[in-house]
Amino acid sequence: MRAVVESDLLYPLLRGRSIRQWVAESENYILMVQDPKDQRGYPEDWMRRTHPLALKYLRHFEKLLRERKAFKKFFDPTRDPSYSMYSVGEYTFAPHKVVWMDISDSMKAAAVTDGVGNDLFIPEHTVIFIDVGSAEEAHYLAAILNSEQVGRVVEGYIVDNHLSTHVIENVVIPKYVRRVEVHGQLASLGRRAQKAARSSAQKVAEIEEEIQSILAGFWPARPSA
């Protein structure tokens, strides 16, 4: 169904299939009518006053929306709008994220840092993401997650190509601290790798070698038994 809706509720949608190592791109848009603070859909009376076109569009699908299992499980049908969405909060709208595919045979992480306002990428359910405090922290984390060291850990436990959040549970990653020199180096290399990934595979490989060199002494050796 085609319809005209208010543009301030449209955001770039980030799908898992649109993520590759270092780079995430959006090919579609999503109508986002979720209140991130209240974690339920915006009230219908507010929508009626401020976004009547979007509300009219959503009402065409009200029956289908109310039949969703997630809606029945997590929302009150007598109080919550039918378009309420589960697992959408302020973290979803964070300007700086690190994202990767839920279903993949290897870690392919990308920093998402350029979105402002309605240019913010909204990850769909097939995307795992971590919201972070700055662009530098996002590039730092992406550099570590895309490393050979983390890749070997992932290969050791991945089941049915589902990465989920297990990588964060199984790898100890020091919190980003701007004044720590090695953290800044990794952030810079992560940013360079993202830029190079759009044009030169050879340059990416060179940057990844630098990351490997830094990470070779990043984690303390495990004490012998």
Q: What is the pLDDT of residue 162?
A: 54
Q: What is the pLDDT of residue 160?
A: 53
HEC assignment per residue over the chain: CCCCCCHHHEEEEECHHHEECCEECCCEEEECCEECCCCEECCHHHHHHHCHHHHHHHHCCHHHHHCCHHHHHHCCCCCCCCCCCCCCCHHHHCCCEEEEECECCCCCCEEECCCCHHHCCEECCCEEEEECCCHHHHHHHHHHHCCHHHHHHHHHHCECCECCCHHHHHCCCCCCCCCCHHHHHHHHHHHHHHHHCCCCHHHHHHHHHHHHHHHCCCCCCCCCC
Confidence of residue 81 (pLDDT cuts 50, 70, 90): very high
> 189 near 143, Cβ under 8 Å?
yes
Mean pLDDT of 145-165: 71
Mean pLDDT of 141-163: 76
The two beta strands, 40-41 and 34-35, are antiparallel
Q: What is the pLDDT of residue 208?
A: 94
Share of residues in the chain with pLDDT > 90 (%): 65
> 40 near 80, Cβ under 8 Å?
yes
- The whole-angstrom separation of Cα 115 and Cα 200 is 24
**Token code pair at residue 149:** 């060291």
pLDDT at 222 over 90: no
pLDDT at 161 over 60: no
Query: 103 or 197: which carries more pLDDT confidence?
Result: 197
pLDDT at 49 over 70: yes
User: pTM of the predicted model, to two decimals?
Assistant: 0.87
Mean pLDDT of 156-160: 60
> 140 near 211, Cβ under 8 Å?
no
Query: 2 or 142: which carries more pLDDT confidence?
Result: 142
Q: What is the pLDDT of residues 5-31, one digit of tens each?
A: 999 999 999 998 899 999 999 989 999
Confidence of residue 105 (pLDDT cuts 50, 70, 90): confident
pLDDT at 168 over 80: no
> 10 near 29, Cβ under 8 Å?
yes
Kindly list the domain boundaries of the chain, sorted by start residue.
7-74, 94-215
Of 108-117, 130-139, 175-184, the one with minimum mean pLDDT is: 108-117
Q: What is the pLDDT of residue 138?
A: 96
C-alpha 74, offset from chain centre: 22
Cα Rg for the chain, rounded, in angstroms?
Answer: 20
Q: What is the pLDDT of residue 30?
A: 94
